[in-house]
A = this chain, B = another copy of it.
Amino acid sequence: MAVVMVGSMAFDTIHTPTASRERVLGGACVYASIACSYFDRTHIVGVVGDDFKDENLKVLKDHKIDIGGVKRMAGKSFFWEGRYNADMKTRDTIKTELNVFEQFDPVMPESFKYVPYLFLANIDPDLQLKVLNSMQKLKFSMVDTMNLWISIKKEKLTEVFSKVDCVVLNDEEIRLFTGKDNILQGAKEIQAIGPRYVIIKKGEHGAALAAPGSYFSLPSYPVDSVVDPTGAGDSFGGAFIGYLSKANKTDVTSLKKAVAYGNTVASFTVEDFSVDRLKNLTRRDIDKRMKKIKKMVRF
């Protein structure tokens, strides 16, 4: 099968306690699409400015990602600058410049509308809804979001949730959306809106999947050194849906395996800045680490 994903393409300036990188490739859709590309055909919809050079697009092309839905506009690309604290988990945003992303209006190439797997990365829920409504042959759709949209567009976001198969949130977003401190109760409340599945991203603690009548939980792979956590969640989502698309299965057993693939790919992402580690993987590397994770939880 194949996957369509819609989301940000950006430049990031990232500071960690030990190093910094200026204007490196970033954005949810970039991380997610590269992760997805190790599993299946990936079509992306996004917008970049005229500062987004051919060498930046080359990374995507090298992974055979279809950039037919990427619009280049006059102006600058979305830019984010952030600083990670000593714990390498919490971070402060120093600067967010929406630039061309402010006018982002996802226009789907006709052929994209018939792709069966859809990943709506974190963008304005109004745009997510627009994309969702344009899809003609969906078999499985999932949506990510952020605290901003939960705070200012909860009603629209709830409508999006009601129309997808799977919602991907981190534990804090679940608390913010539902007001429940208990994650399991929070996930159930979101499932009651419509989506059969809720994935709870827990950062260094891994991820969990709430499904009707079952709960799956997987710790993260313990990397020797976390260099840059940016994009971990996005590459989780990309690998997750890429695996499902390739298998063309959406039963709960497949979703569990997809979570494990998501964890695996995310653990590579954090080993270097930007997509530097993520872009240099092979499916063999991924399968090898995935086996280690399987062994790590066996008792």
A residues at B contact (CB < 8 Å): 86-88, 181-185, 202, 205-206, 208, 215-219, 222-226, 253, 256-257, 259-260, 294, 296-299
Contacts and interface: CB of A to CB of B under 8 A. Distances in A.
B222 A215 contact: yes
Closest 9 CB pairs of A and B: A217-B219, A256-B299, A205-B205, A297-B297, A184-B222, A260-B299, A257-B299, A217-B296, A215-B222
A184 B219 contact: no
A101 B256 CA distance: 49
A225 B182 contact: yes
B257 A222 contact: no
Nearest to A87: B181
Contact of A296 (B87, B182, B185, B215): B215
A88 B183 CA distance: 12
B256 A226 contact: no
A259 B184 contact: no
B208 A217 contact: no
